[in-house]
Amino acid sequence: MEQNDSPDDPVAETGSDRLALRYAALSDVGRVRKDNQDSGYASENLLVIADGVGGAARGDVASSTAVQALRRLDGPPPADLIEALAGAIHRAHDRIAELVEQQPELDGTSTTVTAALFDGHRIGLAHIGDSRGYLLRDGTLSQLTKDHTFVQSLIDEGRITEEESRTHPHRNLILRAVDGVHETDPDLFYIELAPGDRLLLCSDGASGVLDHERLTDILGSGSIDYAVVELIRASLDAGSSDNITCVVADVVDPAVPDDGPPLAAASTGPMIVGAAAEQPRRAGQGSKSFFRGHRGGDTGEIEPVPGEEPAPVGARPVDPEELRYAPQEPHRGRWVKTVGALVVLALVLAVAAVLGYRYSQRQYFVAGHDSRVAIFRGVQADIPGVRMNRVAQQTDVTIASLPDFPAEQVRAGIPAESLRDARQIVARLDDAVRICPTPTPTPTPTPTPTGRGTGQAGGSPSAQPSPTASPTPTATPTPTATPTPTAGASATLAPPDCVEATP
């Protein structure tokens, strides 16, 4: 590689020792979810994982929007990797806000983002949410990112272990994400790389079920293609109930020949997986090719042009206008067919409506009701004249007592797979509420009267009567020491901004 000393080139100083990335990416919808809300991107300059959150609010839109904003960085590395990543995430935040404004049904959507931007020697890493980044170096696996979740805060406080967090009922409660509402606050830092390093970015569909030892074992054996396939297979075998997306990249020295395949960028180009790859089809674009028979100019699939019967010899040519206005034979029974088709259509729609309503009443979600968290039976949909949901269980948890992000999730509605799942969601929210402080009662001062006058010390009456004819009180009891009350602790929060602790 030639030395490039141009001061305007941000990688000029790297010279011939510039490293390169071999990469592979793969995404799987999993065995439980109906659609894939993960998105992934991999190239010689950029690696991205985005895990959409939102359920009915279309988390796939949020994750694909984030990937589309970040992939604009795929090119010659900028002078400041961190600044570029932060700007791209902020643009994703703004774009999601625009989409929600244009399509209110997307309200509540959000996504995690973990992105690595490569300059030939190091990566700038941006992270928000619970997707993860790992580095395998000399057989030792290091977790580069820290989850922004409720269970991670419990781990930091020493209340649970990493192993316990994998089965904790509140493990899916995310505290920070890109949602178009709250300001983005990603973790931003650099990681120096060396030849032989292997990077992994993955959604929690993999990291949530595969422990540190299993990840090390898979990443430490085989090629990058083997690694992404085996990571997803192992996650499914371990019982993952989420979408699974993995991006694996090897750091190599292009100047050192090896037995591996050519650099991925030279043979495959950038790789887009998950919702970001499917999004154009969901939006009605790209679902049908403009070239039906694209076989190097082959027209085998072009519709044939209908032939014309030759006119009889000596016959007068038919005038198209005359043919157009010529009397036509009446179509008998057309109205009968039309009415019959309408009746059949009405019956089909009625049956579909009944079945759809019955199905909807087996669904549950958690949302707000009268400023409190409630479990609803049905679906979040508004159909004129039809009530699609009702409150199945009201709780004492007020929305105002929740942190900002869980509160926004409740306002948008949190889908549940069953009533039991809905109750578990409420339990997670209950653990996150702010508890009202218990005020300390302030002591009330009691005045102590002291008698003075004709009585003996201590208040005893004198044995000698007063010589005065009319007894006149000579002393008035007065309080001697008035204690100064001590200010007690007063509550700084009160319902509904907090929930009173139960005895």
CA distances from 468 to 31, 451, 453, 473, 474 (A): 107, 20, 14, 11, 12
Sign of the C-alpha dihedral computed for residues 364, 423, 419 and 173 taken in this order: positive
pLDDT at 467: 47
3-state class (DSSP) for residue 172:
coil
| pLDDT tens, residue by residue, 164-214 | 888 888 888 899 999 999 998 999 999 999 999 999 999 999 999 999 999
Per DSSP, the residues of 434-455 read: PBPPPPPPPPPP---EE--SSS
3-state class (DSSP) for residue 468:
coil
pLDDT at 337: 75
Give 334's pLDDT tier (boundaries 50, 70, 90). low
Kindly report, as residue ranges, where domains of CATH 3.60.40.10 are found in the chain: 14-282
Least confident segment among 71-75, 302-306, 379-383 = 302-306
Per DSSP, the residues of 98-146 read: HHHHH-GGGTT-EE-EEEEEE-SSEEEEEEESS-EEEEEETTEEEE---
pTM: 0.56
Give 75's pLDDT tier (boundaries 50, 70, 90). very high
pLDDT at 315: 52
Q: Mean pLDDT over residues 461-480, rounded? A: 48
Q: Is the confidence at residue 280, as pLDDT, over 80?
A: no
**The one-letter amino acid at 363:** Q
Question: What is the number of other CB atoms lying within 10 angstroms of the CB of residue 161?
Answer: 11
Q: For the domain bounded by 14-282, which CATH number is listed?
A: 3.60.40.10
Q: What is the mean pLDDT of the chain?
A: 79
Give 56's pLDDT tier (boundaries 50, 70, 90). low
Which of 149, 142, 148, 141 shows the shortest CA–CA distance to 127? Answer: 148
| Residue % of the chain over a pLDDT of 90 | 45
| pLDDT tens, residue by residue, 88-104 | 999 999 999 999 999 99
Answer with the residue of higher pLDDT: 317 or 265: 317
The whole-angstrom separation of Cα 421 and Cα 435 is 24
pLDDT at 340: 82
Q: Is the confidence at residue 1, as pLDDT, over 70?
A: no
